């Protein structure tokens, strides 16, 4: 699809074809829900949004494939940590406020008729708070210590005993928080019939489920990289250094 075709496309259709465009449209307050029949050009002129800029942002999103596979195992530990922080932590930080807003909007609009949507909203809100503190602990305590272990190992030096005793302690805590986050997402799946929107669901409701599916997929990769790759390496490094 070239830029002209994109600009002539109804924005509701755009979101249905690729839910990731919803975030871009929301950024410029373009209403893809009730105003979804308007094409991008009309929607932008109505809201006074810069058509060229919006088109560019949409094209950027559409240019990236949704899934990808990488040989994480071959990556050096500092690069693995950078990747986790720059890709997964940034993603969680960016997508959680969007998820909370969408979940709240859907709960307010349809929660009376479908009370489970209110529970979904509360789960999403709680998950958002828990993950915020989880990421901070990894970024401020655990990951800097693992970086220290890598440097000490390379130089054949020792590291000072950390305040948390051994790396096994924060790792156990992070693993248990990963399990909690996974449980919240499983609960959301149970509540929503595996995130399949009902026939009557409006666009925002469909966007919420699509965003949750994307979030879940990203979190699975994120947790896999930590539990299965990074943490065992850190435990081994500590054994060799301390
Ligand atoms: Fe993490
Ligand atoms: Fe984590």
pLDDT digits (tens, 9 = 90+) for 187-231: 999 999 999 999 989 999 999 999 999 999 899 889 988 988 899
Q: Which of 30, 63, 96 is the last residue of a domain?
A: 63
Q: How far is the CA of 98 from the centre of ligand 2 (A)?
A: 20
- The domain tally of the chain equals 2
Around ion ligand 1, residues with a beta carbon closer than 5 Å are: 138
105 alpha carbon – ligand 2 mean position (Å):
28
- Do residues 102 and 52 share a domain? no
Helices (H), 192-230: 203-224
Cβ-Cβ contacts under 8 Å for 147 (sequence gap 6 or more)? 78, 81
**C-alpha dihedral, 129 to 89 to 100 to 223, nearest 10°:** -80
143 C-alpha to ligand 1 centroid (Å): 9
* 42, 158: one domain: no
Same domain, 39 and 110: no
Distance 228 CA to ligand 2 centre (A): 11
What is the extent of the structural domain holding 149?
75-241
Distance 140 CA to ligand 1 centre (A): 11
State pLDDT tens for residues 43-59: 999 999 999 999 999 99
What whole-number distance in Å separates Cα of residue 156 and Cα of residue 150? 10
Q: Return the CATH number at 59.
A: 1.10.3910
pLDDT at 39 over 70: yes
The pLDDT score that the predictor gives to residue 53 is 97
pLDDT, tens digit, for every residue of 57-113? Answer: 999 999 887 655 567 888 999 999 999 999 999 999 999 999 999 999 999 999 999
What is the model's pLDDT at position 231?
Answer: 95
**Sign of the CA dihedral with 231 first, then 235, 236, and 242 last:** positive
- In sequence order, the 6+-apart residues with CB closer than 8 A to the CB of 59 are 3, 6
**What pLDDT, in 10s, does the model give residues 117-167?**
999 999 999 999 999 999 999 999 999 999 999 999 999 998 989 999 999
Q: How many CA atoms lie within 13 A of 45 on its CB side?
A: 6
pLDDT of residue 67: 58
Percentages (nearest 5) of helix, strand, coil residues in the chain: 75, 0, 25
Distance, in Å, from the CA atom of 11 to the CA atom of 133, rounded to the nearest integer, reads 36
CA–centroid distance, 213 to ligand 1, in Å, is: 18
Ligand 2 mean position to 49 CA, how many Å?
A: 38
Residue 78 CA to ligand 2 center (angstroms) comes to 16
Of 19, 31, 65, give the one whose Cα is nearest residue 212.
Answer: 19
Residues 113 and 230 in one domain: yes
Q: Does some domain include residue 149? A: yes
pLDDT at 134: 98
Ligand 1 geometric centre to CA of 222 (Å): 6
Instruction: Give me ligand 2 centre to Cα 213, in Å.
Output: 18
| pLDDT of 23 | 84
Whether 134 and 217 share a structural domain: yes
């Amino acid at each position: 699809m070239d830029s002209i075709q994109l600009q002539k496309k109804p924005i509701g259709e755009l979101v249905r074809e690729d839910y990731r465009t919803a975030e871009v449209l929301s950024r410029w307050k373009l209403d893809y829900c009730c105003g979804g029949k308007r094409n991008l050009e009309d929607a932008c002129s109505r809201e006074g949004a810069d058509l060229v800029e919006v088109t560019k942002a949409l094209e950027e999103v559409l240019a990236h494939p949704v899934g990808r596979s990488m040989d994480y195992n071959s990556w050096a530990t500092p690069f693995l940590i950078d990747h986790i922080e720059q890709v997964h932590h940034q993603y969680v930080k960016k997508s959680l406020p969007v998820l909370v807003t969408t979940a709240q909007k859907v709960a307010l609009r349809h929660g009376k008729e479908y009370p489970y949507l209110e529970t979904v909203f509360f789960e999403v809100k709680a998950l958002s708070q828990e993950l915020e503190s989880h990421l901070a602990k990894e970024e401020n305590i655990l990951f800097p210590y693992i970086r220290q272990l890598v440097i000490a190992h390379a130089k054949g030096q020792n590291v000072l005993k950390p305040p948390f005793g051994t790396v096994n302690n924060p790792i156990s805590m992070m693993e248990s928080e990963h399990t909690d986050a996974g449980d919240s997402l499983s609960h959301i799946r149970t509540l929503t019939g595996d995130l399949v929107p009902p026939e009557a669901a409006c666009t925002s409701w469909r966007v919420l489920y699509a965003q949750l599916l994307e979030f879940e997929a990203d979190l699975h990769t994120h947790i896999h990289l930590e539990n299965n790759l990074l943490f065992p390496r850190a435990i081994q490094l500590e054994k060799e250094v301390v």
